[in-house]
């Protein structure tokens, strides 16, 4: 019997790949307008290298960008980039279509709902709150608070424990095969892969029990599983 659904966050409940890229590009444009002496293409290449080296959760991408280009700390230009990035992010941060209706339908079926996500706890909560979907979730579990992230099985086990769920009574929904679907499948969860974001073409290798193009398809899967005898 299905009792709960665990969701990945980025590129599962909203379009992370698209909104982050747009926000970064607009931030760089504003920094150039504020006096950063470099072409847009060159600046983006440097920024992308910093992100690749330091990771997406590193908190000083724009500091390092300015230092790499001008050789000094420039608070005006850095702050211009930060403000633009956050303004664009707030403007664009929306859940995928039908997400709220789907979450309402799942809660109406008496299911526990949770989020298990890589990332900084405050940043991931900010996304959920800004999108207005945080009240639907019984638990939000982040890699920062646990100390390990995906695809470590202990992280997923911790999420199940927090939700008081067993693997075979839990659906896991995510976009990445390697970090979401495979570990959930290895633990015995029912896996649903949503074909969104930059990893939608990743080879599946039959780890997904179901694949969906839109989150609203999840309700039909849940009904099918809950009606199985």
Total domain count, the chain? 2
Question: Cα separation of 69 and 93, whole Å?
Answer: 30
Asked if 113 and 71 sit in the same domain, the reply is no
Mean pLDDT over the full length of the chain: 95
The average pLDDT across 55-80 equals 94
User: At residue 158, does pLDDT exceed 80?
Assistant: yes
The average pLDDT across 111-135 equals 96
User: At residue 101, does pLDDT exceed 70?
Assistant: yes
Q: State pLDDT tens for residues 177-191.
A: 999 999 999 999 999
Asked if 154 and 203 sit in the same domain, the reply is yes
Q: Which residues contact 142 (CB under 8 A, 6 or more apart)?
A: 117, 118, 119, 120, 121, 124
Structural domain of 221: 4-14+95-226
User: At residue 63, does pLDDT exceed 80?
Assistant: yes
Asked if 167 and 145 sit in the same domain, the reply is yes
């Amino acid at each position: 019997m299905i009792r709960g659904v665990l969701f990945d966050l980025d590129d599962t409940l909203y379009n992370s790949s698209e909104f982050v890229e747009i926000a970064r590009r607009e931030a760089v444009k504003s920094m150039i307008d504020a006096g950063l002496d470099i072409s847009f293409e060159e600046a983006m290449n440097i920024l992308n290298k910093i992100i690749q080296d330091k990771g997406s959760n590193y908190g000083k991408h724009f500091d390092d960008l300015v230092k790499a280009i001008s050789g000094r700390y420039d608070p005006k230009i850095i702050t211009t980039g930060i403000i633009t990035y956050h303004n664009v992010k707030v403007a664009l941060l929306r859940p995928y279509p039908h997400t709220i209706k789907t979450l309402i339908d799942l809660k109406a079926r008496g299911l526990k709902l949770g989020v298990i996500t890589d990332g900084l706890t405050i940043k991931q909560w900010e996304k959920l709150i800004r999108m207005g979907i945080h009240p639907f979730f019984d638990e939000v579990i982040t890699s920062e608070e646990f100390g390990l992230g995906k695809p470590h099985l202990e992280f997923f086990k911790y999420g199940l424990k927090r939700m008081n769920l067993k693997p075979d009574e839990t659906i896991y929904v995510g976009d990445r095969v390697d970090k979401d679907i495979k570990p959930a499948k290895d633990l015995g969860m029912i896996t649903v892969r949503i074909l969104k974001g930059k990893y939608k073409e990743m080879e599946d290798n039959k780890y997904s029990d179901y694949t969906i193009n839109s989150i609203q398809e999840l309700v039909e899967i849940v009904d099918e599983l809950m009606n199985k005898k």
